[in-house]
């Protein structure tokens, strides 16, 4: 049963100190997709590059201490793709893809628009170019799973204070409609929601106030898959017993 983990680390060096790789070693996952490395290759220790039993593949941002994505895999892929062909966002290290037989596993870190109007415009540009890329992936007939921090809560159930966030980045109507297009037009599947329809299932909490303690969170980390793979999902978990980051790892197990 393939087991896939998606985890925004908010700094791989920080997450390492907090025990992320000790936890990961116990999970026996087939793939671990990580985001927000905030590191370049010279910053990466041997453990970060290739934990015991895993091969590591990374897309680093050009800017130091910023963004970055990676995939840890037990099995060497047939091919590795870094970036999705857009110079602006490929420079930010937001995409790495590993191909195996008829399966593509992708780690993605979609931009956040919360820091400024300029970054929100960049987020909209990303959305505009990433949707056609997803359409091409879907058209190839392979099974695909895109894991990572999408920085958008899709529906009211996916964040605690939805009424107060209708005009805020991450829950804007345009962003939510974009995710709906991925599900409704492209036919990709929000795998977690297919299995678990309960409210108050979040993957990110602000560091302000008592958001974590009071579970005032957002569900912005996803595994989005082609229907064939999504149909094989059997168990989902948002791991909150330990904190490696302001995000919680999302684990999904699929039938072989």
Report the catalytic residues: 149
DSSP-assigned letters across all residues of the chain: --EEEEEE-SSHHHHHHTTHHHHHHHH--SEEEEE-----GGG--HHHHS-TT-EEEEE--SSTTS--EEEEESS--SEEEES-S-HHHHTTT-EEEEEETTEEEEEEEPPP-SS-HHHHHHHHHHHHHHHHHHHHHHHTT-EEEEEEE-----SGGGBTT-GGGTTSTTS-HHHHHHHHHHHHTS--EEHHHHH---SS--SEE-SSTTTTTTT-EE--EEEEE-HHHHTTEEEEEE--SS-SSSB--EEEEE--
Residue with tokens 């793939």: 31
The dihedral over CA atoms of 89, 192, 207, 168, expressed in degrees to the nearest 10, equals 60
Neighbouring C-alpha atoms within 13 Å toward the C-beta of 158: 20
């Amino acid at each position: 049963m393939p087991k896939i983990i998606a985890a925004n680390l908010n700094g791989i060096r920080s997450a390492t100190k907090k025990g992320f790789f000790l936890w990961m070693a116990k999970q026996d996952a087939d793939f671990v997709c990580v985001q927000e490395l905030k590191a370049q290759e010279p910053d990466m220790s041997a453990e970060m590059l290739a934990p015991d039993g895993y091969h590591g593949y990374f897309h680093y941002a050009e800017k130091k201490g910023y963004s970055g994505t990676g995939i840890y895999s037990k099995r060497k892929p047939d091919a590795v793709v870094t970036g999705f062909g857009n110079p602006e966002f490929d420079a930010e290290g937001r995409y790495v893809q590993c191909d195996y037989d008829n399966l593509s596993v992708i780690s993605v870190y979609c931009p956040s628009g919360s820091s400024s109007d300029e970054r929100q415009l960049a987020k909209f540009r990303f959305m505009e170019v990433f949707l056609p890329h997803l359409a091409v992936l879907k058209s190839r007939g392979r099974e695909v799973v895109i894991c990572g921090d999408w920085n958008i809560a899709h529906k009211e159930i996916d964040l605690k204070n939805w009424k107060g966030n209708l005009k805020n980045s991450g829950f804007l109507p345009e962003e939510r409609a974009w995710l709906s297009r991925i599900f409704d037009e492209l036919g990709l599947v929000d795998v977690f929601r297919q299995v678990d329809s309960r409210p108050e299932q979040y993957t990110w909490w602000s560091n302000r106030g008592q958001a974590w303690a009071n579970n005032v969170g957002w569900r912005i980390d996803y595994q989005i898959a082609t229907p064939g793979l999504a149909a094989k999902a059997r168990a989902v978990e948002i791991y909150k017993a330990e904190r490696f980051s302001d995000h919680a790892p999302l684990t999904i197990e699929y039938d072989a």
